[in-house]
């Protein structure tokens, strides 16, 4: 998956370079009247070429590091269903019924097991953000109505983790939180 996206990107980069080179070559066929444009066109060519190369390097380094690829090849040993609703999170080991969203009170995960959070929303967009005891953001995804976003993570430290809404979702957004434990 990472490889194919990288290849796709490099392909697009190659195509845009070819198109650009073609346009640049065509722009050389200027008449005497246009000759004054030659130098600015040349500067622009180098400026854009350097820009493309820099953007290309940045994208090919950062895109494969996107969290969407984390643990993509492993099968999660644990699935936690998450439903966000103004202004609370419902967490459950089983699929959550939108008509009767009831979760479990205490979700316990194991240290270093691969957990897949399946995150959705029953009203507006919310953020599903996991913080450790020190208040550091560990992982996050959006909770969107009509979509299930999968977030895979391995918790290397046992302890209590907090879930906070990371997207302003209404008047009581700031009280929207939950928690779980890693043993």
> Residues in the site for Cu ion, rule: CB under 5 A?
126, 165, 169, 173, 176
CB of 142 to Cu ion, least distance (A): 11
C-beta neighbour count of 111 within 10 angstroms: 12
Nearer to Cu ion, 89 or 161 (CB): 89
Of 92 and 121, nearer to Cu ion (C-beta) is: 121
* Least distance from Cu ion to the Cβ atom of residue 165, Å: 3
The DSSP H or E segment spanning 62 is: helix 38-62
Asked if omega into 5 is within 30° of 0 (cis), the reply is no
For residue 92, the cross-strand partners are: 81
Q: Which is nearer to Cu ion, 78 or 173 (CB)?
A: 173
Distance in Å, CB of 148 to Cu ion, minimum: 18
Q: For residue 132, give every residue at least 6 positions away whose Cβ sits within 8 Å of its Cβ, in sequence order, or none.
A: 138, 157, 159, 161
């Amino acid at each position: 998956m990472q490889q194919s996206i990288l290849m796709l990107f490099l392909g697009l980069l190659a195509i845009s370079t070819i198109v650009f080179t073609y346009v640049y070559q065509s722009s050389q066929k200027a008449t005497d009247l246009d000759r004054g444009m030659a130098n600015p066109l040349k500067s622009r060519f180098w400026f854009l070429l350097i820009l493309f190369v820099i953007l290309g390097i940045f994208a090919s380094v950062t895109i494969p590091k996107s969290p969407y690829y984390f643990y993509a090849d492993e099968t999660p040993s644990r699935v936690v269903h998450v439903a966000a609703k103004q202004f609370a999170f419902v967490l459950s080991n089983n699929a959550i019924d939108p008509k009767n969203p009831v979760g479990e009170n205490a979700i316990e995960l194991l240290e270093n097991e691969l957990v897949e959070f399946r995150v959705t929303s029953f009203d507006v967009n919310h953020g599903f953000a996991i913080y450790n005891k020190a208040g550091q953001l560990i992982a996050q995804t959006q909770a969107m109505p009509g979509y299930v976003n999968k977030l895979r993570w391995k918790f290397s430290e046992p302890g209590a983790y907090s879930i906070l809404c990371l997207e302003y979702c209404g008047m009581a957004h700031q009280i929207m939180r939950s928690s779980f434990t890693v043993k």
